[in-house]
């Protein structure tokens, strides 16, 4: 799968992948440059983003918000990694 990330997405991915086997991949992520990610890896990262999105939705509900900025980034990444 070929994907292109922006800086906010890269920073977010570094945060959620820091304690995983996938963290080393983040050094390859450059803003607005295409990168080829194995489909299985993309699926694992997508699942982590989905978990983070769900967590952020719960936090937003507690604050009477629709979604947090972090949740929006997670949702965008889930969508991007499905393509």
Check pLDDT > 90 for residue 2: yes
Residues 6+ apart with CB under 8 A from 67: 56, 57, 60, 75
Instruction: Write down the pTM of the prediction.
Output: 0.82
Closest CA to 25 of 45, 8, 7: 45
Q: What is the DSSP string of 17-76?
A: HTTSTTGGGGGG--TT-EEE--HHHHHHHHHHHHHHHHHHHHHHHHTT-S--HHHHHHHH
Across the range 11-23, mean pLDDT stands at 93
| Per-residue model confidence (pLDDT) at position 68 | 79
Check pLDDT > 70 for residue 6: yes
**Are 22 and 3 within 8 A, CB to CB?**
no
Check pLDDT > 70 for residue 83: no
Could you read off the pLDDT of 31-82 as tens digits, one per residue? 999 999 999 999 999 999 999 998 888 877 777 767 778 888 998 999 988 8
Q: Domain ranges in the chain?
A: 2-82
């Amino acid at each position: 799968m070929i994907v292109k990330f922006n800086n906010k997405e890269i920073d977010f991915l570094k945060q959620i992948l820091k304690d995983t086997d996938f963290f080393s991949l983040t050094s390859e992520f450059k803003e607005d440059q295409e990168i080829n990610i194995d489909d299985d890896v993309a699926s694992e990262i997508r699942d982590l983003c989905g978990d983070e999105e769900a967590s952020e939705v719960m936090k937003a509900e507690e604050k009477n918000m629709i979604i947090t900025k972090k949740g929006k980034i997670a949702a965008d990444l889930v969508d991007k990694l499905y393509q």
